[in-house]
Amino acid sequence: MLAIIGGSGLSSLDSFEQVQEKAIKTPYARARVRVNLFTLGDTQFAFLPRHGKKHAIPPHKVNYRANIWALSSIGVKQIVAINAVGGIHDKLGPGSFAVPDQLIDYSFGRDGTFFETGLNQVTHIDFSHPYTETLRQQLLHAVNHVNKQAKIQRALMDGGVYACTQGPRLETAAEIQRLQRDGCAMVGMTGMPEAALARELDIAYACLALSVNWAAGLAEELISLDEIHRVLAQGMDFVLAVLEQVVKESASA
């Protein structure tokens, strides 16, 4: 089954038909993880809002392990993650999309592995290519398909390095210059450890990133939260159309 992890701006999927809400007990949290099951035609898919239903869990407090474990426990084998980002690459201005192909993790102190206790042997995963290429291609295909039918085309970057910062504060201008020197194209706060945890449980994982602002120091003006919310809200119809297409294509794959 395919799951969608919704980020900022996507806490519910009102345009789809919800069939069930599951409250899943995990070894990683006292509270159950609530996963919504939806259908589109004959295809069932899962939806999990990363920041909670009320968008109240900040990036560094998200229980990534509980979320990924819960999805795996109901048979999820593919995850499409939606992430709002700040644009660093000059092609990633507000309102444009990217499907990154690499990441650098600058976050810290997050519970980032399932392979911690109760092991027979120290366990490592190969993470050379953090995003699953086949799923990345499906996502790119879906964006291009929606773009062809949309009134206003959205710029799309195929690839790029996603920088995951700790948050919840935004970065300093100097930090963004450093990320630029590191080769990062975009910066967000929620890409990790989500991607690594999915790999540990053998779940294919790809990210659809929506740029909602120029990263710190790259625009004349300071970053405005009102403006971020406006760009997010404007991008969500497009995101929903892409998700519908991804679900349709996953059914026929």
The residue ranges that bind ligand HPA (CB under 6 A) are: 84-86, 165, 170-171, 187-189, 212-213, 215
User: CB-wise, 48 or 215, nearer to ligand HPA?
Assistant: 215
Nearest-approach distance from CB 215 to ligand HPA, in angstroms: 5
User: CB-wise, 70 or 192, nearer to ligand HPA?
Assistant: 192
Q: How far, in Å, CA of 205 to CA of 134, rounded? A: 9
Longest dimension (CA), the chain: 56
User: CB-wise, 77 or 230, nearer to ligand HPA?
Assistant: 230
In Å, what is the CA distance from 146 to each residue of 32, 149, 237?
35, 5, 11
Nearest-approach distance from CB 39 to ligand HPA, in angstroms: 31
Nearest-approach distance from CB 51 to ligand HPA, in angstroms: 12
Nearest-approach distance from CB 243 to ligand HPA, in angstroms: 19
Could you tell me if 253 and 138 are in contact, meaning their C-beta atoms sit under 8 angstroms apart?
A: yes
Nearest-approach distance from CB 189 to ligand HPA, in angstroms: 5
User: CB-wise, 86 or 112, nearer to ligand HPA?
Assistant: 86
User: CB-wise, 43 or 166, nearer to ligand HPA?
Assistant: 166
Nearest-approach distance from CB 164 to ligand HPA, in angstroms: 9
Nearest-approach distance from CB 75 to ligand HPA, in angstroms: 31
Could you tell me if 189 and 168 are in contact, meaning their C-beta atoms sit under 8 angstroms apart?
A: yes
